[in-house]
Structure 1
Amino acid sequence: MTEPHRFTSIMNCLTRITRQIVQQTSCYSQGQIYVLPLLMSVLPGIDLNDFDKTSITLDFFDTIFMLITCADCSSAVQTRNDLSDVIQEKITQCFTGAFLSPKVRKIVASLVQAMVTGNPIETIKYLLPQTCQFIKKIINNMERTVLLTDCKGDIELTWFLILFSELVRARGDVLLNYKSMIISIFHQCIHIIHKDSYQAIAQAATNVLQSLSNVYPIDDRSTIDNKNVLSVRTWGQSVDFDRLQIQYHIPNADEIDFACEFIETFIYPELTSLNENILTMSNDERLRSLTIILYIAIGCLRMVPRIDSKHVSDFMLSVVSTSSNPQFQCSIYPKEPKFRENLRMRLYIDIGHLLGRCNDGKSFGRCFINENSTS
């Protein structure tokens, strides 16, 4: 531990032989008894003064925890297998408290994201209502003119919006139960002018739409809970991919309707406001509106069909030999998403109009529009 170069070399070697250490084989059956002492011995490698040492230590932890199953073997398992009311209250109070430091926010947000991925139903049940309640309480205690003009913002409100954006990463079918609550928060917060706050609400919009409309795995575990099997016997075992029974989230009709309603409710007013007030809006207002439009588009354009266009005749082929496989697209939705128009075409036309109307004095807005149009 006192010689960083030797420590990093040893940790590099250990990271690459972790499967052989944790796996129970006839050739080396004693490796598993050294796992816990090994984890304890390398823990001091997390040194804030040495980035390389910390990095390789965390890499080792990440690798070894991907190969072993962590289980609570204490006597509490025989007592009850769920969280007590006191523990649930402590966890809820912890995550719904105000974390003012940006670094702490990122750490706590990543923990919330892991909880939402692992157990979305219980996490949303205990955290989302309280988070929304705190957001509404802060907004009700502030004047609306302050929210629309104060660029400094409220640190506590910003944290709860970040927490809200992480919570709405939950599965689409779980979010359906909190539809009115989610829509209400967006109505109250979407016009906040503070940069960190509107970026959090914009990210929440992307997360909501992707959770509702995307196909993604919701359970890809290679092992199942079995009280009659010791988890230590499965450490380090490889899995036949053909035998994996991965469960996917497939959007249903209600989720598609929710996503379409969300898009209709929030993106068109922003487009209308930009078209009508682009020359009188401040830079902060313009950036807020463009950010909201950009993040909603990122979340929903998978649902929007491509723009129908004529085939380009007399097209000059590239002199460089290239090979590309055409992508076949097929519908994965139980019903066709219905919009008042092709949103891709609407964005294309409106961005063109905005670029033409922004004069030289609005070059900051022009650059932002150019950046968004290429994203």
Structure 2
Amino acid sequence: MPVPSNRFWEQWLVAHRAKPEACVTFSLSPSPSLKEYIDELDPGMSLDWSSEDYQGARGLRRQVLDRYGYRPVCDVDDVLITAGAQEANYLALTQLLRSGDELVIDAPGWQQPIVLAEQIGATVKYVPRIEARGWALDLDRLEALVTPKTKVVFICNPNNPTGRVEDEQTLRAVIGIAERVGAHVVSDEVYRGLEWEGPPTPRVATMYERGVSTGSVSKLLGLQGLRTGWMVTRDRKLIADAMVLRENTSEIMNIMGERIAEIALRSDRFAAAVERSRLIGHARIERLDRFVADQPALSWHRPVAGLLGLAYLDRPITAEAFAQRLLAPPYNTFVMAGDAYACPRHLRLGAGGVSHEELELGLSRMAQLLAS
């Protein structure tokens, strides 16, 4: 059946066509330019993929293990390089779910798994995040939702759009619930490395044999244009099945993207890039937090990770109507309405993907509309 549309995609499409002058909803760290990698690329390298590894460049897989802390539990054969975290999620979910199965997913949370499950014919069950508790997962509800039909429990951790991070104790509770029925736990960890407080985000692939961690070079390093990510899991059958599926879709990864990603993940480069992203990102989150504090109509739980947060709009107008007015002249500014996450009274505020000047312009115009 056709892939169903959703409000998340529809809002992006409308905003893209509107060509806004400012944006306060992006989640990407500053993007470097290609010239930063040119000197380390071999101009004589072949762009033919026929001699490459179908799991992705072995050197890149080693770098993923080393930089993101999957060793010693996982090794190079537990990594599949993908076209971003999006393809990693796609490959995992479309191989694990069948019509009539159940997917249990955090809400609010990442929308892609919902679209994929509905296209497959699986039943989607939502485990709520509790706003009054800082968007914590409702573990009691999760326990009640999981049944023998549950094949996947999906979480976005750090969470998009709330910036919540579930700690190791919570993740072990999630794993215990899933293990009871033999379900996989898929954890989208694409914002890992952008934690502003507390310990690093736990890696599900290292905690559970049916755990699947997905990630990419997009959010932390700003390398979204490379379309290079990964799936890490000790379930070798899942990796083999995912490779079969990809052979019949995108076939194999792009050579140039893998080469640049391997350079970006070298230890000296990676450390410097992460330091830069964290310095800029933390200052941006501080700026958003001050903005929310200064607006009587807004309140939020400050994100503990990532460049996103979900702010409650206390005005006699829906978030969708507010976002539409903000996108139109004279404001020409894009903010995502929370109905993309079934939160019609919230706005997704993001501090990434734009210059400091554009962020300030967007916040200024949002403040004008809130004051009106």
TM-score, with length taken from structure 2: 0.23
Identify the structure with the greater helix proportion. Answer: 1
Structure label with greater radius of gyration: 1
* Higher relative contact order structure (alpha carbons within 8 Å, sequence separation ≥ 6): 2
- Name the one with the larger strand percent: 2
